[in-house]
Amino acid sequence: MVPAMSAMHYISTRGQTPPMGFQDAVLEGLAPDGGLLIPERIPDVRDKLAFWSTLSYQDLSFEVLRQFVDLPVEDLKALIARAYRTFTHPEIAPAWPVGPVWILELFHGPTLAFKDIALQFLGQFFEYALERRNARLNILGATSGDTGSAAIHGVRGQQRINIFIMHPRGRVSPAQERQMTTVLDANVFNLAVDGTFDDCQNLMKSIFRDVEFKRRYALGAINSVNWARVVTQIVYYFSSGLYVMAQTGAPRVSFSVPTGNFGDILAGWYAAQMGLPIGRLVLATNENDILARFFNTGTYSLGHVVPTISPSMDIQVASNFERYLYYRMNGDADALRNAMELFGRTGALSVAGRDELFRAGVGDTASTLETIRHYHDAYGYLLDPHTAVGVHVAAPHLRADEPMICLATAHPAKFSDAIARAVGRDIARHPALDALKDAPTRVDPIPNDERAVRDYMAARAQV
């Protein structure tokens, strides 16, 4: 007999939103009080790890998600099956030993980036939930590169959804831009904002905080502020961690995660709290190092966004950091709210103490290029620049008794210019990207102005 699904409820980090179920939390996106929705408790699954280590990726997804969701069993299984049917590798997220590390390949989905793993599921869920509620949704998202295309491919052509994706004009790679703007479905709208990714993210969050506008136009979120993004990413920490421990006989593993918005590494933190034996989470940033500075000094302080060869990490304000900060503040929503208000006024906040699970470092452009070059020459493996940041930062933390799993977040062909700089030849290719070179595009330039974005959406939203 299959046990009943989870009765988990979700609360806001800012403590002023009534608890809600999983389906409402996912459709809500950002909490009405401006906070982020989190589970009311973190399940302990240590007694399940032996069984979980025997499962396929899809079956493991079901076992992990059932801890958090309130969907009927067969419906959840069907959503998972549909989400991963377009992936080109049978293991969905395979892990391989490469030199001194293990590489967890998360780029076998339709847009060749790790965001597909969450957003293919989220797209299926939206369609499922809206049909049952006879409802419509207007998704508003901001992207530094990969989220936008993965979200668009997750919901393109859906009748009940329009999707509006803002990206920083001229600050994503050419391949990332074409993956978004060559999608011509009537429900897809690309907005090229004159500003940075942080500007796009601030526009999105400000619009979501207007509860009346959010309700009138049925706004939904696909950025990692949406809990479904985080919970689906927990799965590949369990899949790779259990696999590598079985292959090596190690009692625990560590992970190195290239990090911009903190959502991917936050999923690893949740996996550790659930009972996966993780020795360390190595947080890797590029020159936009606000998160590395926080974990090394305890101070979270704004800098200026620096354009780099790893553009998906060219972020200062990490949208998921608030979830982690809530736990660091022992679940004190008032303290969290005060800290975020202070950060909004001054651009800085500090937290006492240290989380021993984390290590943090920076991979600048020179070290990123050298890491790509070295792994290609020494091991015949091509790293994309984001993955190379993680591999570089992992190096000082390697231990013989604790395998290091480095998350490969995108296919190198998405950043062919950076690869050519590193190895001296244009060798990062993928047929899916080559096919887009002469495809027609559609994109609307828009100023970095909230009123302009609101007016654009109001004229095109499904209501």
Domains and CATH numbers, the chain: 95-112+230-432 (3.40.50.1100)
The CA–CA distances, whole Å, from 442 to 187, 201, 390, 448 equal 12, 21, 34, 19
Residue 1 pLDDT exceeds 60: no
pLDDT of residue 5: 62
**Torsion angles phi and psi, residue 282, rounded to 5:** -95, 115
Per-chain mean pLDDT for the chain: 95
Give, in degrees to the nearest 5, the angle at Cα 112 between 108 and 117. Answer: 60
Q: Give per-residue pLDDT as tens, 305-363.
A: 899 999 889 888 898 999 999 999 999 999 999 999 999 999 999 999 999 999 999 99
Residue 246 pLDDT exceeds 50: yes
pLDDT of residue 4: 45
Query: Which residues, including other chains, have CB under 8 Å from residue 346's CB and lie 6 or more apart?
Result: none
Is residue 191 within 8 A of residue 453, CB to CB? The reply is: yes
Q: Give per-residue pLDDT as tens, 124-179.
A: 999 999 999 999 999 999 998 788 899 999 999 999 999 999 999 999 988 889 99
Around Cβ 437, how many Cβ atoms within 10 Å?
Answer: 10
The conformation of residue 32, written as its DSSP 8-state character, comes to T
3-state secondary structure of 299: strand
CA distance 230 to 118: 8
Residue of 140, 121, 131 lying closest to 62 (CA atoms): 121
Task: Calculate the dihedral angle through the C-alpha atoms of 415, 421, 422, 428, rounding to the nearest 10 degrees.
Answer: 40
Q: Which of 187-191, 199-203, 387-391, 420-424 bottoms out in mean pLDDT, i.e. has the lowest?
A: 199-203
> What's the average model confidence in pLDDT over 270-298?
97
Kindly give the residue spans of alpha helices, DSSP state H, lying in 364-449: 365-379, 385-394, 416-423, 431-434
Is residue 218 within 8 A of residue 160, CB to CB? The reply is: no
Q: Could you identify the residue written with the tokens 């933390």? A: 397
pLDDT of residue 391: 98
**Torsion angles phi and psi, residue 256, rounded to 5:** -115, 130
Q: Report the sign of the C-alpha dihedral through residues 193, 196, 200, 202, in that order.
A: negative
> What's the average model confidence in pLDDT over 234-243?
98
pLDDT of residue 223: 82
Q: 115 catalytic, yes or no?
A: yes
What token pair was written down for 401?
């008794």
CA distance 379 to 131: 49
The conformation of residue 305, written as its DSSP 8-state character, comes to -
**Torsion angles phi and psi, residue 177, rounded to 5:** -65, -45
Grade residue 120 by pLDDT with cuts at 50, 70 and 90: very high
Residue 282 pLDDT exceeds 80: yes
Grade residue 6 by pLDDT with cuts at 50, 70 and 90: low
Is residue 270 within 8 A of residue 230, CB to CB? The reply is: yes
Residue of 150, 428, 403 lying closest to 280 (CA atoms): 403
Q: Give per-residue pLDDT as tens, 39-93.
A: 999 999 999 999 999 999 999 999 999 999 999 999 999 999 999 999 999 999 9
Grade residue 3 by pLDDT with cuts at 50, 70 and 90: very low
CA distance 310 to 170: 14
Catalytic pick among 48, 115, 205, 414: 115
